[in-house]
Amino acid sequence: MIKKVLSPIIISAIQIIVVAIIHQSLNYFYPIQHRSVGFGLTVFLTGIIFMLCILAFNFYFDFFKRNNYWIGFFLLIITSILPFSAFNERPLRSLFLILLVLCGFLSSLALNKWRKKINMESKTRF
């Protein structure tokens, strides 16, 4: 039971760290020319919402088997609301945030499918 509870937490932590590294490295190589406080708040709040949604999605994906794609799509829409609202001011940075969030949810689906495939193969070997 502990393994079943800890695995979504560890996967979520790894995904959050990888998305943060990608965001920081791309901001390092392609810096924002005109910094605005408003968009910084958008990035910060999108990050917090993403962390909570990806953790909830990983727990839901681990414990329930139905409606995984619909729940993921709904959480993706919730996370993308703030970047959509800032799309008029910074369209490329908003699109970048939306793509990072999309990659986070798609990686969650891919990792869980891969884990289930490995578990099924290990059960059939023995």
Written as one letter, the residue type at 84 is: F
Domain boundaries, the chain: 40-112
Task: Return the biggest CA–CA distance within the chain.
Answer: 60
How confident is the model at residue 52, as a pLDDT? 93
How confident is the model at residue 22, as a pLDDT? 86
Q: Is pLDDT of 56 > 80?
A: yes
CA 126 to CA 117: how far, in whole Å?
A: 15
Q: What angle do CA 3, 13, 94 make, to 5 degrees?
A: 145
Question: SS3 for 7?
Answer: helix
Q: Please tell me what DSSP assigns to residue 90.
A: -
Contact indicator for 71, 60 with CB cutoff of 8 Å: yes
- pTM (two decimals): 0.81
Q: Give per-residue pLDDT as tens, 91-111.
A: 888 888 899 899 888 988 888
